[in-house]
Amino acid sequence: MFIIEGLTDNGWSFEARHDSRDNAFWHARAKSDATGRTFRLISQDQQMVCLLTSKGSDCWGMESELVA
């Protein structure tokens, strides 16, 4: 499960939820292209996050363990 959130003046706001990463990514990409807004995509397990802007996009895998 992947969650799309859009950046607003008040922070991140829920936009949509998709079962597949590809569907979520292209939905967020289309919304960003159409509106010029910034969106992020977060996997339900919070192991991956993508940031999509009008200038492009990038995704990161998150570490499952943090070392102090």
Has residue 24 been placed in a domain? yes
**Sorting pLDDT into bands at 50, 70 and 90, what band is 52?**
very high
Question: Considering the chain, what is the average pLDDT of its residues?
Answer: 91
Has residue 68 been placed in a domain? no
Has residue 67 been placed in a domain? no
Tally the domains of the chain. Answer: 1
Has residue 46 been placed in a domain? yes
Has residue 57 been placed in a domain? yes
Return the amino acid letter for 55. K
Whether pLDDT at 65 is above 80: no
- pLDDT for residue 2: 96
Q: Specify the pTM.
A: 0.84
Has residue 54 been placed in a domain? yes
- pLDDT for residue 46: 86
Q: Could you tell me the end-to-end alpha-carbon distance of the chain, in angstroms, rounded to an integer?
A: 29
Residue span of the structural domain in which 45 resides: 2-61
Q: Are 18 and 41 in contact (CB under 8 A)?
A: no
Whether pLDDT at 25 is above 70: yes
Q: Which residue has the tokens 């936009």?
A: 15
- pLDDT for residue 62: 80
